[in-house]
Amino acid sequence: MFPSVWISGRVLGALYVAYTAAFYLRVSTAKSKRPIVTSKGQPPDQDALFEYRGLIHVHSDYSHDARGSYDELSRAAHRHGLAFLVITDHNNVDAIAAGEQGWRNGVLLLTGVESGRCEGYMLFVDIESYIHESISSTREALQEYLRQGGFGLVIHAGNCRRAWKGELDSAIDGLEILDYADQLYDCSVLAKLNAFLFYPANRALACLRVYHRPAETLARWDREASARPVVGFYGPNMHQNVRILGWEPKFPPADAVMPLASNHILSREPLTGDFQSDKRVVYTAIRNGNLFFALDILGDSSGFRFSARQEDSSAVMGETLPADVETVFSIRLPRIEDNSQFEIVIYRNGVEFLRERGRELTFRATQAGAYRVEVLTRVPTFFGRGRMAPWIYSNPIYLRP
């Protein structure tokens, strides 16, 4: 009995090594260069907007279930070209009193909080102090944080176990659309197994195996945004901590999570190195939805633009123009140096409005609604030619009567 177990173990081991070796080759693509090759130089930007990449919903040592100091997180963020992190630990803003906020290693570190509510989970950001979740209703908490000048964002909206159960109060400014930890929880057992097995061989491909379009959360966002502006954003929900029978490896590490995806904020003002004014620039762009988010692991999406123009005014993502006036919308992809295929899909109030292949698109509309863009591309898979899935998600531009 024992030798046969030993032999079948060896066979399985050999198969696994052969498999991972095969995918290592396939994946050196994803390791050294990303599937979509964008040029370093940004296309000339007529809007003269400043663009910064960053993450919202990151955990640190200030959470009981996460690891990583502000200093370590800032160094990792710098390695991956991120300009800011909004660190939101569970039920405390102790990092503010500890003087952790500010510029460190070339990265702007901001402190918010993740708060468990009876309806689900929220982030409160741009706040000074935290009232414990047990002593206030969500409405009271929102009123207090609005008084402090801050705002609230719903997270885990589409999580299979912890989805947001309440209404989206009009005082809630935004919704986390893509949460990488939720993507992992919610994907099929086969996808999880695949990702786990191939992670050592090809980290990028393993992470992409788990990725899927968050259809239900997008539908919820579209419903809300058809009535009032609602910000959509990406959250890595990074903890760098798992518990396996008392063993707590620092996994998945920041160096694996940070390159996956990010928010790209757009601002008419640059970051200058002054903490107070830079904090204002970042939070204003987030609160107004002047941002898009993208799977940057597929290719650097910096330079993507979605804008709208009327005779004497214009708008970027998150902004509103009057309806019933001829509006020219334009979408421009970053400068791409290979022959990757893209599909640009426009949704109006969640209904597909236009779908075209290409790298730029212009269309006209007058009807009121929330117009947003998804840019689809071929996502590599372990087998076959890959599958079409969104690379970039814009925030809407609104036409209102």
User: How many angstroms separate the CA atoms of 376 and 392, rounded?
Assistant: 7
Is residue 185 within 8 Å of 161, Cβ to Cβ? yes
Strand, coil or helix: what is 117? coil
**Shortest gap between Cβ of 264 and Zn ion (angstroms)?**
21
Report the residue closest to Zn ion, judged by CB. Answer: 237
Is residue 100 within 8 Å of 68, Cβ to Cβ? no
CB nearer to Zn ion: pick between 74 and 237 = 237
**Shortest gap between Cβ of 57 and Zn ion (angstroms)?**
6
Identify which of 140, 143, 165 has the alpha carbon closest to the alpha carbon of residue 154.
165
Q: Are strands 327-332 and 360-365 parallel, antiparallel or unpaired?
A: antiparallel
CB nearer to Zn ion: pick between 179 and 296 = 179
Site string for Zn ion, 88-127 (x = CB under 5 A): --------------------------x-------------
Is residue 50 within 8 Å of 229, Cβ to Cβ? no
**Shortest gap between Cβ of 20 and Zn ion (angstroms)?**
31
**Shortest gap between Cβ of 207 and Zn ion (angstroms)?**
18
Q: Is 301 in the site for Zn ion (CB under 5 A)?
A: no
Residue 298 dihedral angles phi and psi, to the nearest 5°: -80, -25
Q: Are strands 360-365 and 291-294 parallel, antiparallel or unpaired?
A: unpaired
Handedness of CA 69, 70, 74, 80 (dihedral sign): positive
Q: Which stretch binds Zn ion (CB under 5 A): 43-51, 220-228, 231-239, 313-321?
A: 231-239
CB nearer to Zn ion: pick between 87 and 295 = 87
Q: Which stretch binds Zn ion (CB under 5 A): 209-217, 233-241, 289-297, 389-397?
A: 233-241
**Shortest gap between Cβ of 165 and Zn ion (angstroms)?**
17
Q: Which stretch binds Zn ion (CB under 5 A): 74-82, 230-238, 336-344, 389-397?
A: 230-238
Q: Max CA-CA distance within the chain?
A: 82
CB nearer to Zn ion: pick between 31 and 64 = 64
User: How many angstroms separate the CA atoms of 347 and 369, rounded?
Assistant: 10
Identify which of 43, 35, 91, 97 has the alpha carbon closest to the alpha carbon of residue 63.
91
**Shortest gap between Cβ of 162 and Zn ion (angstroms)?**
10
CB nearer to Zn ion: pick between 114 and 133 = 114
Is residue 168 within 8 Å of 232, Cβ to Cβ? no
CB nearer to Zn ion: pick between 58 and 379 = 58
Is residue 54 within 8 Å of 282, Cβ to Cβ? yes
**Shortest gap between Cβ of 59 and Zn ion (angstroms)?**
6
CB nearer to Zn ion: pick between 27 and 122 = 122
**Shortest gap between Cβ of 285 and Zn ion (angstroms)?**
21
Q: Is 237 in the site for Zn ion (CB under 5 A)?
A: yes
Question: In what helix (H) or strand (E) does residue 53 lie, and over which residues does it extend?
Answer: strand 50-58
**Shortest gap between Cβ of 88 and Zn ion (angstroms)?**
7
Whole-Å CA distances, 72 to 8, 37, 69? 43, 29, 5
**Shortest gap between Cβ of 67 and Zn ion (angstroms)?**
13
User: How many angstroms separate the CA atoms of 76 and 181, rounded?
Assistant: 19
Q: Which stretch binds Zn ion (CB under 5 A): 134-142, 232-240, 261-269, 362-370?
A: 232-240
CB nearer to Zn ion: pick between 124 and 304 = 124
**Shortest gap between Cβ of 92 and Zn ion (angstroms)?**
13
CB nearer to Zn ion: pick between 182 and 296 = 182
Is 102 exposed, middle or buried (CB count within 10 Å of its CB: 0-12, 13-18, 19+)? middle
CB nearer to Zn ion: pick between 156 and 209 = 156
DSSP H helices in 199-334: 203-210, 215-225, 254-257, 275-288
Q: Which stretch binds Zn ion (CB under 5 A): 44-52, 207-215, 236-244, 258-266?
A: 236-244
- Local structure of residue 119 (DSSP, 8 states): S
Per the structure block, which two tokens stand in for 318?
A: 């998150």
Strand, coil or helix: what is 349? coil
CB nearer to Zn ion: pick between 202 and 262 = 262
Q: How many residues interact with Zn ion (rule CB under 5 A)?
A: 2
Give the residues lining the site for Zn ion (CB under 5 A).
114, 237
